[in-house]
Structure 1
């Protein structure tokens, strides 16, 4: 019969208990407890190999190592090999990341009109050479992080924006305007974007997505939401003042109405009459159908008692932009957001000067703008109707976009 031996830790416990008991004359007399024996004979590790085996079994697991092991070598993506050519859903390698990058497992990606123009090849900026993977409204989870990354860790939720990287060293970056960086990197344009299951992005430009936010619904905020929110800030319209929104019933306009209301502005929506109910359901205070008046400038100034304090142009029409500079209030601001193809506008220089009108462009937003725009969405102050479809539907979505058959925003599920 084997001799019963105490485990060393239990032996220490027994000694401490006895010191406090009346059996060893301690202060805590009468409080000693039963001695528990370790029934199985205990012995130390007899060899170094046994010790190494035990250490290996209980080694702390590195989450980055585990996630790296789960990232496949290839993935599904939407690729085009020539501008305006076939959109091919095929297997491509998962991108490598640099020391300043993160790799995001993209769950959902919004589809923007800019993606359509990149595919058609009519965007007046230099892209990377095809093949190109489009997309710049990606939402997912970080699965890899470069050695220099400190603002994201494995498992964090992250968004991929139009701005994929900036130098942070040029004059524009130093002024806090990374969208106008001299060496800007653009998702789905100069670097493959979010129409793939795994996408690489510079960690400094990736957007932290708040917990509890639905990834499918938040995806369009990363471009459309940030764009209109920034434009409203650029308008300098204050709470209680009037902002006019052209093309108010569209995807950008619908978001712009909601951000403007959340910022305390009075909203004049300008769009076709069949959009009136929709615009007012989102919070628009006033509405004008430009197709039902022969003098839009007078109609706007009459309804707003002198003109809106600012105008956000998201309508893709040069005429709407020209008219907005005429009906805006004296010392007001006209913000150009939409990008009509080959558009040119003409302004009356004399009245633009003597009325001190500001006309400016607004182009997406900074990292701070992104955080603020996401904050409005996370608090439930901004909502957007989304249509979620599989990645394979992208060619059909581009066709519908060209026929103006999209309501709200379309979001791709990268895993269907």
Structure 2
């Protein structure tokens, strides 16, 4: 292969591969892919580990990836090779390879800036090989541009956790000075969501499990209120959040906790005309109080990652110094241990795989 940024591109690369659902990933050497029309080859410097990657390993969604697959959709790195007809990027550009690998570009959703709900899309690390590897192939028109002052380890979580919570906050339609409640505020998505909310001028009521997280939420993340759900019934959680938010509840709620009960709580805690936005994907369904929904004009909607515009906005906000990710760097060889820690709830903030040294 031709020479690339920082030296020649090798013929093989190290990657973590799902070869069988429910089994540990296999870390091995595989061929370095060749970028095709409109694609670029990215040398991955850092790659965030998302809960979705765990679902890819386990194959527990109703839609399953075709195996073998390389997971990972928070790949921050450098363009080292251009495929034919790439005009928007150059060798050495700092880019992020996110969940939305590509979409059809021609349907009503794509044409109106809603490519995230396109029915003919591919997802990085799910339907296209991802970023748990030394190199990854990305569509040139779908990468995010990483600001020069943002490290690759800091950029990685923004590529999913950041853009996803940023988009969900926009979907609440809450205005500067208003309250948003974030359920699961201290986790990988929540801790960046709290910071994006403040950058947007919103007041945050953080909701999480355990009194030990209160200091982190208030003192580190800058939230205005904290509600500990430990030992509380759903009714008590809702009442505590309402009390913290002017006595009537938040204007919007973002549901990150992967349990159906959190969805009902996220709707019930809203003040009239509030909007609950669901992000997490637990199995099952949840009941809605129809009288409250109708009489209080509440809105319930889902939100999935963000558009290309949302992605670049979220990276820009990070570059302006408004978001600082809590990152624990680990090695690619540690991926199975990381998944074990994730299942046990031991990870604070975001775990990032250090694939290569900063160039």
Give TM class, smaller chain.
Answer: over 0.9
Tell me the alpha carbon deviations over residues 245-271 of structure 1, each in whole angstroms, 9 at most, x when there is no partner: 111121211111111111111111112
Asked if the contact 1:390–1:415 (Cα under 8 Å) also holds between the matched residues in 2, the reply is no
Aligned to 1:220: 157
Return the alpha-carbon distance in structure 2 between the equivalents of residues 195 and 252 of structure 1: 19
Higher relative contact order (CA 8 A, sep 6+): 2
Return the alpha-carbon distance in structure 2 between the equivalents of residues 247 and 254 of structure 1: 8
Tell me the alpha carbon deviations over residues 37-88 of structure 1, each in whole angstroms, 9 at most, x when there is no partner: xxxxxxxxxxxxxxxxxxxxxxxxxxx9532981111111111211112311
Aligned residue for 2:347, secondary structure, equals: coil
Aligned to 2:204: 267
Asked if the contact 1:293–1:299 (Cα under 8 Å) also holds between the matched residues in 2, the reply is no
Aligned to 2:256: 314
Aligned to 2:223: 284
1:147 matched to 2:84? The reply is yes
Q: Considering only CA atoms, is the larger Rg found in Structure 1 or Structure 2?
A: 1
Aligned to 1:70: 8
1:371 matched to 2:312? The reply is yes
Return the alpha-carbon distance in structure 1 between the equivalents of residues 318 and 284 of structure 2: 32
Asked if the contact 1:161–1:206 (Cα under 8 Å) also holds between the matched residues in 2, the reply is yes
Unaligned runs of 5+ in 2: none
Unaligned runs of 5+ in 1: 1-63
1:258 matched to 2:200? The reply is no
Aligned residue for 2:334, secondary structure, equals: helix
Return the alpha-carbon distance in structure 2 between the equivalents of residues 258 and 187 of structure 1: 26
Task: Calculate the TM-score normalised by the size of structure 1.
Answer: 0.82
Return the alpha-carbon distance in structure 2 between the equivalents of residues 343 and 312 of structure 1: 18
Cα shift at 1:227? 0.4
Worse-superposed segment, 159-168 or 295-304? 295-304
- The root-mean-square deviation of aligned C-alpha atoms, in Å, is 1.6
1:391 matched to 2:332? The reply is yes
Q: What is the aligned residue count?
A: 351
Tell me the alpha carbon deviations over residues 264-298 of structure 1, each in whole angstroms, 9 at most, x when there is no partner: 11111112222111100211101112235552323
Counterparts of 1:164-243 in structure 2, within 5 Å, are: 164-243=101-180
Asked if the contact 1:143–1:154 (Cα under 8 Å) also holds between the matched residues in 2, the reply is yes
Task: Calculate the TM-score normalised by the size of structure 2.
Answer: 0.94
Aligned to 2:54: 116
C-alpha distance 67-291 of structure 1, shift in aligned 2 (>3 A): closer
